[in-house]
Structures are given as C-alpha cells and as structure tokens.
Homo-oligomer: A and B are copies of this chain.
Amino acid sequence: VERILTVDDLERLAIGAGILGTGGGGNPYLGKIRALQHLKEGAEIRVIDIDDVPDDALVTSVGGMGAPTVGVERLSRGDETLVAMRALEAHIGKSFTHLIAGEIGGSNAIAPLIVAAQTGLPVIDGDGMGRAFPELQMDTFMISGISPTPAALADHSHHNVVFDHIDNPSTLERYARVVTIQMGGGAGLAVPVMTGAQVKAAAIPGTMSLAIAIGDAVIATRSGKGDPVDAALSVSGGERLFAGKIVSVERRNEAGFAKGVLKLEGTGNDSGRSVSIDFQNENLIVRAENGEALAIVPDLICLVDEDSAEPITTEIVRYGLRVVVIGIPAPEQLKTDAALAVVGPAAFGYPGIEYVPMAGIYGQGITTASVR
C-alpha cells in the first residue's frame, strides 16, 4: 500500500508528531512548512507500508540532531539531512532505496518526508521509537543490535563527518553529539545503514499513519464536534494525567540538550494540586507534589493546549499556557528489558525510579483525573 501525502496530511502529521514527540524531536511547525513548500513545488512524497519493503532494500533513517531550542533560533538550511544521506551513500558506495524516520516525534517525523521530496525515495510507515528520544542509542534499530555505523552528520556549510566504525551506539552518540554542538547545535543526520529485512524486524510499524490519524482526529473536532484532547486520547490510547497552568519553566542548554523542569498548577478537577515535569529534549517524568510519579519514560508524556490539543513542545513551552498533560503507553518494543536498559528511567539519571507502565499506575481504562 502506497500513500501519496497531501497538504492536509502534512497538517495532520505535524499535530500527531508534535504529540508523539513528547516535547522533543524538533519543532514540527518548521518541518511542516518546509515539507509544504516542496509539495507546492510539485514534489511527491510517498509513504509505503513496512510489509511492502523488499528484504534487500537499503534503508537509512534521516533527521536532525541537536537541541530543539537551538532549532527554532537558528533555522536549518534545509538540506543538511540530504547532504548527510548523500555523504553516507558516497562512503558506502551504494544508494539508499527507502527512508524511515528515526523518531516519529516532532520535526524528525517530517525530516524523511523532506528528503523524500528532494530525492523521490519512498518513506516507510514506521519509525525507531514510536515517540521521540534525545539520544541515538535510544531507537529500536540500535536496541535490536543493528550496527550504529557507518553514519553521517552534515552542517549548514555542507561540511560532513562520517562515523565509519564505532562498535556501540552510545559511543556514536557521544562522538556525534560533540560534533553537532560544534556544528552550531543542530545538524543533519543519516544513521544507520539497514537492509529491508532488518527494518522490518526492528522498526515500530505504522507510526506515520498513527501520527496522521491523531492529527486528523484533532482537526476534525476543532470545528466544534467534540473535544480535541479527547480525540487525541481516543486515537493514541492515551489518558489525561493532569490539567493545569504552566507556572514555571526552568530551561538550560546543557551538553547539547535542552534540559529543565516545568511546574504546573492544576485547574478544573485538578485545582489545588500541582505537578512537575523533568525534560531532556523530551519529557521524562511527571511527578505530583509528594514525589509520586504519574508517568515515567518510556511512556509518552505530552503537553497539549487544553482547547485545541495543539502540542506544546520543549522549545515553545512558556509561563501561563493552559495545558493538558497526556500520558500514552509506550509501544511494547520499548518495554523489553533490553529496551528499558537504554530508554528506562535509569538511563536518564533516575537510578532510584523503577519504570511502572502507566496502566499499572492508574488501572487500565480508568481516567486518572478522577482516581488520583
């Protein structure tokens, strides 16, 4: 099955990817307007089912590396990711046949669509995270043991660096992160090199369609037929964790990441309560005043505007916004022991916190606002 993306699809995807991005993945609005420009110029963007990918396809995932706060201050040139992919092709002496998103969150859901528009290559419906994560070792390609190299980074001057041989993805993350910082805080990335068979075994399928479907439901209700937040929850399988006003944003750029803490005071049913959310590009943990966790990475913690369900990402979150904090259960691929070692709370510096799936915290099917 092949889907030719429309202007409306891109509008939907920007919303869905913004929600699934859990705060990170880069600003989806900027990605969207770049992709729309390509459609206006006549480019075709094709998304295909993962089942239709030949086993011998040559696939790479492409996107941006860096802090999302930098991405909105210092706009990308628009072809860094393409340059990174071409550098990787030149290095291996072969051409890619398919693209896939490394993460379905934020602008990195849209980045492969832009390269698709620039090259004509099809994009596989799926990704390596089912959300966004801040580091390279945190996708299911790396977790499943696919070699992290060769990989390539490119900057706004079309400089490129090829990571030719590094035997573990965390070391690639360290090396590529410092180069990204030197590249100005944001860079185009192509990693890894995969066969179609490897992608089919490792990717989280259908997430491009899921993101579009979430956006579709949100947009459909905005015209008045229902609540946009409920629509997003219904399609994503998520729950309302908290409704409130952002009263404090502590945000710093540290080691190439946007890190910080948000504080929210409750409104409506949540009046009189407050929560804090730690983030590192993406939202990592929501805690009540007594320190109890309401949701923990890898479960998705997303801020959306209380009226429109517009996603509120790390780089635009600010004092005074009225938001709903949504929790969406992580894909099963992120809940294995091997995955939790890389994307669980300990991997983000919370060694004392054990991951408990959202359903375990709240009881499946019960909305949290009423039972907390």
Contacts and interface: CB of A to CB of B under 8 A. Distances in A.
Contact of A162 (B159, B162, B167, B182): B162
Contacts of A183: 175
Nearest to A179: B175
Contact of A87 (B157, B161, B165, B181): B165
Copies in the complex: 2
A75 interface: no
Contacts of A175: 159, 161, 179, 182-183
Contact of A161 (B159, B162, B182): B162
A174 B157 CA distance: 14
Q: Which of A87, A159, A181 has the most CB of B within 10 A?
A: A159
A154 to B, nearest CB: 9
A251 interface: no
Contacts of A167: 157, 159
A353 interface: no
Interface string A143-181: 000000000100001111111111100010011001101
A91 interface: yes
Contacts of A178: 178-179, 181-182
Contacts of A161: 161-164, 166, 175
A276 to B, nearest CB: 32
A90 interface: yes
Interface string A72-90: 0000000000000001001
Interface string A168-209: 000100110011011100000000000000000000000000
Nearest to A150: B162
A5 B193 CA distance: 45
Contacts of A152: 164
A159 B87 CA distance: 19
Contact of A159 (B157, B171, B179, B182): B171
Interface in A45-71: none
Interface of A: 87, 90-91, 152, 157-167, 171, 174-175, 178-179, 181-183
25 contacts: A87-B164, A87-B165, A90-B164, A91-B91, A91-B162, A91-B164, A152-B164, A157-B171, A159-B165, A159-B167, A159-B171, A159-B175, A160-B164, A160-B165, A161-B162, A161-B163, A161-B164, A161-B166, A161-B175, A162-B162, A175-B179, A175-B183, A178-B179, A178-B182, A179-B179
